[in-house]
Amino acid sequence: MTKRQFLGGIGALTAGILGTGAARQASGDSDDHSGEFPFQLTDEEWRKRLTPDQYRVLRGHGTERAGTSPLNAEKRDGAFTCAGCGESLFEAATKYESGTGWPSFWAPIEGGVGLSEDRTLWMVRTEVHCANCGGHLGHVFPDGPEPTGLRYCMNGVAMQFEPR
């Protein structure tokens, strides 16, 4: 087990035990991005549109268990899009195997994602969200491959794959 896999597992375990929403509330961060994004739905509409797991991650800032996403094995040409609104997020050519158990990318599609500070779980991280609907996708870390040196570590349940 690598250090990255260990730390990713500890983070996912802690999120699962504490509940990310509870940790976010305790830290004073808001889950409500309403009014900030072009694509908006009511909470009821989101619940109808998304599966329970998608809702927990995209709208509740949750984390899926490492190694559970079928998108980890996706290697075809195409694009990864937001499961909430269909926004194009990542080109398949930027996907790589990070060893974390989550789909990872070294760069997003220009304008597809936004970043915000995440102070949950007693640490400061950079959250990645859909620029169109504000859905939580994952986090970005400065330990990725060249040419960017970044690792966009995404929840597979928050995305869909569109082959070319």
CA distance 92 to 160: 12
SS (H, E, C) the chain: CCHHHHHHHHHHHHHHHHCHHHHHHHHCCCCCCCCCCCCCCCHHHHHHHCCHHHHHHHCCCCCCCCCCCHHHHCCCCEEEEECCCCCEEEEHHHEECCCCCCCEECCCCCCCEEEEEECHHHCCEEEEEECCCCCEEEEEECCCCCCCCCEEEECHHHEEEEEC
Q: Is 130 known to be catalytic?
A: no
From 82, 85, 133, 153, the catalytic residue: 153
Q: Which residues neighbour 11 within 8 Å (Cβ) at sequence distance 6 or greater?
A: 63, 121
Q: Among all residues, which ones are annotated catalytic?
A: 153
